[in-house]
Structure 1
Amino acid sequence: MNDERTIPEMMTNRIKRYGGKILFQHKVGWSWKQITWLDFEKTIKDIASFLLGLGFAPGTAAIIVSGSRTESLFAEFGIYLLGGITIPIDDNDDLEKIIKIARDSKSRFMFVAKESTLKELSNKIHEVPSLHKIVTFTDTGIGEDERVIPFKGLLKFGSMKRKMLEDELARKAEGVLPDSTAAVFYNFDSDLKKERKEITHKDLIKALKGASEKLLSITEEDQAFSHLSYVSPYERFVNYLGIYMGNRISIAETRDNFFDDILEVKPTVIYETQKGIENLCSKALSNPGRVSISQKLRNAIGGRAKHILIDSLPRREIINLLSSSDISLTEVPELAGL
């Protein structure tokens, strides 16, 4: 695996290695749906096939307005297979910022998680003439605009095309170069002046490899869990680290679901941010009961957690609390610094 240079090469190697093993778990209603590596391969190829049929070419930009959820990860890796560029946007960002990014990047495709965002976009879509198709992760509020398609519909049409496009998909993936841009991040100051940062496949693979080399105590049998907003490179790519390392990954669909879902998942590894871990500890300690502070924390995060990965270290008292709870806290500057 040391010769991997791009995300498509990484995925090819992991799928060959893990095949029918479970990669993702996500909640559907009251139960958890399991997704194997082979399921993941099929899904991202379905997405790539749909996009390819609409003229998606290497270097094409696609915006993803979503927090971390399985659909957004599927979309990103489908885009990478074609040599496309993903542009993450927090799904709580205002419409003006989304429109500015879409115009500046000349994005042809947009993936949207929230129905409210889709409704706002419907009145402003004319301001982004390059936009060809909007894919929504929700089945409601779609309306009659032909440019909008639900994610389930994309998968259906992509699946119909995939068998005819297998060879072309392989050629596209092999054509992705280490110096090809994988992702672009936009930041705005108070005057909405933009800063644009590009991350190549080489940058990303190097960061994932570097981070994984200091996490040797985390194995393929570990169960990771998170819900992150995609504001920063760390939040965006830490789930990629789980994929790189062959972990099983569960993602809460919303932050409100996080504290209920974690009790069901009982993860051994948690992906968090500095702010998130401080909020998590505060909520855990507010729970009533006569057990020790350390036990309260362990109970609140499922009882099995051994590792928490984080973008930057929290306050000293939080570090001490986690240490007394036998939970290791590891900063991941390789991703945070991208």
Structure 2
Amino acid sequence: MPTTIDTAFLDTMPANVAVQFFDRVAKTPDAEAFRFPRGEAWESVTWKQVGDKVEALAAGLIALGIEPEQRVGIASGTRYEWILADLAVMCAAGATTTVYPSTNAEDVAYILGDSESRVVFAEDDDQIKKLTDHRAELPHISKVVTFDGKGDGDWVITLDDLAELGAAKLAEEPNVVKAASEAVTPDQLATLIYTSGTTGRPKGVRLRHKSWVYEGEAIKAQKILDESDLQFLWLPMAHSFGKVLLSTQLACGFASAVDGRVEKIVDNCAAVKPTFMGAAPRIFEKAYGRIQTMQAAEGGAKEKIFHKAFAVGLEVDRLKREGKSVPLPLKLQHGLFDKLVFSKVRERFGGRVRFFISGSAALNREIAEWFNAAGIVILEGYGMTENSAGATVNHPDRNRIGTVGPALPGAEVKIGEGDEVMLRGPHVMEGYHNLPEETAKTLTSDGWLHTGDKGSLDADGYLTITGRIKELFKTSGGKYIAPPAIESKFKAICPYAGQFMVFGSERNYVVALITLDPDAMAGWAAENGMEGKSYTEVVQSDEVHKMVSDYVDELNGRLNRWETIKKWKLLDHDLSIESGELTPSMKVKRNVVEDNHKALIDGMYA
């Protein structure tokens, strides 16, 4: 049974994110708050240093005329300055509008126009250009503040320029930021996050101060993290998952190493040696695939030892899960394999990871069990932008693989009509910006949020997600298919998989489009006499086709007859954010992929 967590914290939560931040600065002023790359080295700052910088930037925003709840955009990748900008907006009583750096200029103009943003933090000259090209459509924007770009002394100023404006404001009115922060009510707008929805124009989700404060305080109440922890933070801060991790840091007081470059994650983990990290399943799939292919390349005795180690690790975990004792010979074997194999897997992530938190899409159970066998716990959680990202999460001491855990303390989950997951609590949005009809469809009159996800609850309140209701389809034979379950199975079987997309609505059998991971395939090409050939040449080769065919056959052996993949096609490119086939948080836009490859899919039914 899950332990009941005292919800008294709900009555003593800080009133808003700004107060939560200044409370943290006052509590541990000399402790490390953030570290971030400067060239090849990592630079570190204390909470006091962050507090001083944020106060100056917040005063600068007030000097620029930002009033309570007025929107301030941030168009940047994840970096220390993003966090400074966001905290400054909170402390100036404004509301942050988040923009992914990969968003195209037209959508940037739409988001900043719809939100009526007054000031925009723009990472560099590329982000500035998106604004200058659409300046006529953005009459509300009075100033652009750049992190790395060039200022023009007028419309575009630097972060240092903003801090100087703030210093002058604080010299005149020393309490201006403190007064603005303390006046913010729990129900005031804190953030507008535009969902990179898989259909249509993005919708602005209105999230209140109390929602973010609650997310951090609810994690703190579970005693999962404390001031001794070190987070590695790479997730897009434009995504609600990134914002939850920031709120959790303010509540718990640990330090964060910040670097949003996805290609540097594993190298950075080895250098920083974090104790935990939040990630999307794609990161774990890629790491799993890479380790598997490296072992296969080694071959011989090393590969045999590797596979034997994981067979033992998985068996030990199974016995523990079932409450059975581990026989001494197995225990001794496990200890040996821990030294020989598992410790090396842990070392890839720095060797100190207590757990990872996985969210934003479903994690395959086999992959979760594989990491667990190596002594790397992955706590799967669940939520969406509309409930500030965190609704349920597993606990390190009570982790049920295959579930997304119980509701956060102080929040509720229930299963509604058609097995739809429903959420209620302080984390639920105020509504969609300028879209009252959409809000009415999504929120019930008594505060329940329709998630659009299908799921079930066990006797202890642990939630299992089956998939998006609108992604489930029925074959012409009347059988229901849940694509995510099949797709994640393939990724666990095939270490070279990029994406695996299942189709077959109202058709008489199921087909798939497959992409392979370019990094993994570069390694495969080098080992199979195709080094130097392009990705397209490699994946179009007979050898690769045969390899993928074997993996599809293996997948089909694990599926119900009506789920099996009768035909499949290998795409000559991986999906990308730039092509519009992936959201910035790496979710597949199924309808875009289906439209883009309609002829290919139809051809499999010809």
Using the size of structure 1 for normalisation, the TM-score is 0.91
> SS state of the match for residue 378, structure 2?
strand
| 1:120 match | 130
Question: Conserved in 2, the CA contact under 8 Å of 1:226 and 1:250?
Answer: yes
For structure 1, which segment, 306-315 or 171-180, has the greater mean C-alpha deviation from structure 2 after superposition? 306-315
Pair member with larger Rg: 2
1:305 equivalent in alignment to 2:353:
yes
CA distance in 2, matches of 1:7, 1:302: 31
Find the counterpart in structure 2 of residue 89 from structure 1.
99
* Counterpart position of 1:54: 64
Cα offset for 1:72? 0.8
> How far off is 1:163 after superposition?
3.6
2:79 pairs with 1:30: no
Are 1:327 and 2:385 an aligned pair?
A: no
Secondary structure of 1:230's match?
Answer: coil
Structure 1, residues 113-154: CA drift from partner, whole Å, max 9, x if none? 24322223222222200011111111x4x2636211122332
Number of the residue aligned with 1:159: 167
Return 166-175 or 147-156, whichever deviates more: 147-156
After superposition, the C-alpha distances for 1:252-293 in whole angstroms (9 at most, x for unaligned) are: 141123232221101111121222332233344444665846
The residue type paired with residue 170 of structure 1 is K
Return the match for 1:236 from 243, 254, 258: 243
> Hey, what's the Cα distance between the residues in 1 that align with 2:218 and 2:197?
31
AA matched with 1:19: P
Q: Counterparts of 2:172 and 2:293 in 1: how far apart (Å)?
A: 56
Shift of 1:332: 3.7
Which deviates more, 16-25 or 282-291?
282-291
CA–CA separation in structure 1 for the residues paired with 2:229 and 2:146: 31
**In structure 1, what is the Cα distance between the partners aligned to 2:42 and 2:196?**
38
2:261 corresponds to 1:258: no
1:1-338 superposed matches below 5 A: 2-138=12-148, 140=149, 142=150, 144=152, 146-187=154-195, 192-214=200-222, 216-287=223-294, 290=302, 292=306, 294-311=342-359, 313-333=362-382, 335-337=389-391
Q: CA deviation at 1:194?
A: 3.8
C-alpha contact 1:24 1:35 (8 A) present in aligned 2: yes
CA 1:69–1:188: 2 relative to 1, 3 Å? closer
How many Å apart are 1:112 and its aligned residue?
A: 1.5
> Structure 2 CA distance, aligned partners of 1:284 and 1:125?
48
Deviations 1:55-107 (A, max 9, x none): 11111101111232111111111111121110111111111111001111111
Instruction: State the secondary structure of the residue aligned to 1:176.
Output: coil
Equivalence for 2:423: none
Are the aligned partners of 1:285 and 1:297 in contact in 2 as well (CA < 8 Å)? no
Work out which structure has the larger RCO, using CA pairs closer than 8 Å and 6 or more positions apart in sequence: 1
Residue 321 of structure 2 corresponds to none
Secondary structure of residue in 2 paired with 1:166: coil
Measured against aligned partners, the alpha-carbon deviations of 1:158-198 in whole angstroms (never above 9, x if no partner) come to: 33433433312111111000000111111355664342211
Segments of 5+ residues of structure 1 without an aligned counterpart are: none
- Give the aligned residue type for 2:39: G
Q: For the residues of structure 2 that align with 1:9 and 1:190, how far apart are their CA atoms?
A: 35
Q: Distance in 2 between matches of 1:166 and 1:276?
A: 45
Question: Using the alignment, how far apart are the partners of 2:85 and 2:105 within structure 1?
Answer: 21
The alpha-carbon distance between structure 1 residues 299 and 119, as it changes in their structure 2 partners (threshold 3 A), is same
Task: Measure, in 2, the Cα distance between the counterparts of 1:57 and 1:90.
Answer: 24
- Is 2:266–2:349's contact at 8 Å kept on the other side of the alignment? yes
Contact 2:82 2:237 in 1 (8 A): no
Distance 1:18 1:316 in 2: 39
| Secondary structure at 2:242 match in 1 | helix
In structure 1, distance between residues paired with 2:345 and 2:124: 32
1:134 match: secondary structure: strand
Aligned length: 335
Conservation of the 8 A alpha-carbon contact between 1:228 and 1:272: yes
Unaligned runs of at least 5 residues, structure 2: 1-8, 307-340, 384-388, 392-426, 428-606
TM-score (norm 2): 0.52
In structure 1, the residue corresponding to 2:207 is in which secondary structure? Answer: strand
The 1-side partners of 2:22 and 2:376 are apart by: 33
Partner Cα distance (1:270, 1:264) in 2: 14
Distance 1:115 1:278, change over 3 A: farther
SS in 1 for 2:175: helix
Q: Distance in 1 between matches of 2:185 and 2:381?
A: 26
Deviates more, 1:102-111 or 1:293-302: 293-302
In structure 2, C-alpha distance between the alignment counterparts of 1:146 and 1:299, rounded to whole Å:
50
